[in-house]
Each structure stands twice: as C-alpha cells, then as structure tokens.
Amino acid sequence: MGSVRAHRVGFLDAKHPTPALDGVAKQSIVFEHAYAQAPLTVVSDASILSGTYPQTHGATEFGSPLAAGVSWLPDVLHGRGYKRVAFVGTSMLDPKSGHAPGFDRGFDSYDSSGGAKQIVDIVAWVGGKHETPFFLWANIAPRGGAATGDAAVGKIVEALRSRKLFDDSIIAIVSDHGESLGAHGEDTFGVFLYDETTHVPLLLKLPTNQLAGKQVSARVRTLDIAPTVLEAAGIPVPSQMQGQSLLRIAKSNTGG
C-alpha cells in the first residue's frame, strides 16, 4: 500500500475499521512496530525488495540506479523458477527509472485513475492460468489512503481465494511509508523521520495460516521482508541482504 500510517488501520487500533485488512490480520502475524527505511516511495521500496539499507542499495532519490551487486528479491525468486509480475500505482517506479528491475511483466504507461484500473488488472491476472509459482508485487496507488488500500486488498484476496491460491500463499502487506498530514509542520506526506512518516502497518500471512493471530511487539524493519519471504519459501537468503527473518522474531517475539 502507498502512504498509510500504522494507526490508520483497524488491526492497529484505528478509530475506523479496515475490514479487509482486519480480516487478513486474523490469519496473519501482526507486527505492531514496523518501520520503513525512508518516508519516500523509491527509497523504501528499494529497501523492501533488496533487504538492504538505503546507503547500501543506492536508490536514494528518483532516477538514481541500484548499486551493483545488490541482491534483488524478484531476481532471487526467478532463479528458483518463480514468475515475476509487478502492478505499480506510481510513476516513480516506472521500469524506465531503473527502480523496477527483475520483473517479467510490468507497465509502459502511468495510470492516474487512483488505482482502480490497477486493481482490475491485478484481479484479471490472478484469475488466469498459473503453471509455476509466482511473485506478485503490487504497490497500491496512495489516493484515498487506508480506505483505498483496504478495498484493494479485499479484491485481491477474493481473487486469490477464488483461484484457491490464498491458503498456500505467502502474503506480506505493508505500506511503503506513512504520511505527516500536517504533523510537525509538514504538509502532505512529509520527508522527515517521524513516527507518522515511518511507522507502517505490516502483516505476514504464511501458508496454512501458520502463526495466525500472533502479535509481535518488537520493533522490526521493512528491509526484513525480503529475507523473510525467502526463508518462508525455503530459499537461502543471500549474504548481501542486511535484514533478518521475521519468522524468527515472531517465534521469539524479540527484535534486533
């Protein structure tokens, strides 16, 4: 999801429920204190997909390329036979920018509809025939905030269920960063490191709902997601990744 604060979702005690997200949360590990590595989409998404800090992956602004030698989650999965597909609701992650490498399918134009067509495309793709395991990366356009993200998650989950893919899937739901919305004198998203801009919702649903309902109070990082996905899939984690497995943290409920 794009630009959703942690405290805008129901499962983290928001005033208003987010029914789709709250439903998935009951079948997932809930990380109460997850933090993005930057309050900027390009930087944060690069950390999520590489499992590294911004100073390591090098994509610290729009247009800056990834550093050579950085392990990239889509590429690692491709090496294990996974099909890779991306549906991205922001022009900041256009493949031409160099920030969305490693996918078999992406996009060639920017859809400014606020994400509606993006979700239709995702649902249609999920409903197709899949002969190999796949990695689907969806960055939901930030227009509408938590409500938009919740509705999108609901439609994607419904599509996965209809194809009988949901139960056996590894699903991570996270926001790339939060937003200030006027806090600390910052209008709109905000670019400084405050709780409002870096504390994000994070859910991890494992196959057959392992550890469902687990609440983790330890502080974790979004750069931990890539190594977690790999471990959950039984794939060795590249030594270049600086994150740690959230599975181990969830089982012990301690963070590092």
Assign residue 224 the CATH number of its domain.
3.40.720.10
Reported as type and span, the H/E element at residue 144 is none
Max mean pLDDT among 23-32, 52-61, 194-203 falls in 23-32
Residue 1 lies in a domain: no
Which structural domain range is residue 123 located in?
A: 6-252
Please give the pLDDT value at position 75: 93
Please give the pLDDT value at position 187: 65
Please give the pLDDT value at position 230: 98
Token code pair at residue 245: 């497995």
Residue 163 lies in a domain: yes
> What average pLDDT does this structure show over 202-223?
96
How many distinct structural domains can be found in the chain? 1
Read off the pTM.
0.90
> What average pLDDT does this structure show over 141-157?
84
Separation of alpha carbons 222 and 36, rounded Å: 5
> What average pLDDT does this structure show over 208-226?
96
Q: Where are the beta strands (DSSP E) in 36-170?
A: 83-88, 134-139
Backbone phi, then psi, for 76, in 5-degree steps?
-60, -45
Task: Kindly indicate the confidence band of residue 256, based on its pLDDT and cuts at 50, 70 and 90.
Answer: very low
The answer, yes or no, to whether residue 106 has pLDDT greater than 60, is no
> What average pLDDT does this structure show over 116-121?
86
> What average pLDDT does this structure show over 37-51?
91
Residue 160 lies in a domain: yes
Residue 21 lies in a domain: yes
Residue 175 lies in a domain: yes
Backbone phi, then psi, for 140, in 5-degree steps?
-75, 130
Separation of alpha carbons 205 and 174, rounded Å: 12
Which residues are paired to 31 by β-bridges? 202, 216
